[in-house]
Amino acid sequence: MLKIVLVATIAALVAEASPMPRLQLPQLDGRIVGGVDTTIESYPHQVSVMYFDRHICGGSIIAHNLILTAAHCTRGKDAQFLNIRYGTSLRNQGGTVVAIAEIHDHPNYDPVTTDFDISVLKLSSDIDLSHTAQIIPMISVNAQEGGRTALVTGWGALYTDGPSPKQLQVVELKEEDRKACNKAYEGEITERMICFMNPGQDACQGDSGGPLISNGVQIGVVSWGYDCADPLYPGVFADLANVQIRDHIDGIVEMK
């Protein structure tokens, strides 16, 4: 019976992590399109969030024992089957693996609208900081938006229904006007979301839960979008300047 349960669980994991193009529905499985190879030394805040020891989402180091990712990556999952891999440029290989002690999805996360799409993972032990593992600073509350260029990193599939790379990828995106993005998505963009895109180079969902970085600080978390590399639909990210991330983190730190 246990064997049957494990097989069923792994099958569900594979189905969840695979790209699933759905017309006019948010894609939450994440992929980087049009990116280039990079290394963890260039983006040492990047981590892989793993479920049953297989990569499912990206994340970032925000404290010695805290990882920031997307709530849609962790919702409904048991912490005992989650861990993170850090300090490596390779998917499912190398670096150091640390178990997840606690999952803290944002209390206002809405799986229907994907609003407040952030989750903080508390690790069972501290990360050993080095040139391949560093804490990324976060954007200040109410920071000015508009006209920014940003970078997304991850190990998501290279194109729709395509293979996932072994090597860490990076893509450069430009901020889309909030009103224009909201119009494209027919009013689905909330104040806790920002939009980025670039012709032929699209994070789409980047690698779900992965960091959006501008001027050396994390400004967003890869969240959702329609299609992939579609010029009509920018990638949508959780906006860390407006998502009450610091209050959420402070509440976790203060927990006994």
Q: Would you name the residues annotated as active-site residues? A: 72, 117, 208
Q: Can you tell me the distance from the alpha carbon of 114 to that of 241, in angstroms, rounded to the nearest whole number?
A: 17
For the chain, what's the residue count?
256
Q: Can you tell me the distance from the alpha carbon of 50 to that of 97, in angstroms, rounded to the nearest whole number?
A: 9
Instruction: Report DSSP state, residue 199.
Output: T
Q: How would you class 192 by CB atoms within 10 Å of its CB: exposed for 0-12, middle for 13-18, buried for 19 or more?
A: buried
Q: Can you tell me the distance from the alpha carbon of 26 to that of 188, in angstroms, rounded to the nearest whole number?
A: 10
| 20 close to 142: Cβ distance less than 8 angstroms | no
Closest to 69 (Cα-Cα) out of 185, 180, 229, 220 = 220
**What value, to the nearest 5°, has the Cα angle with vertex 144 and ends 142 and 148?**
135
Name the β-bridge partners of 83.
50, 99
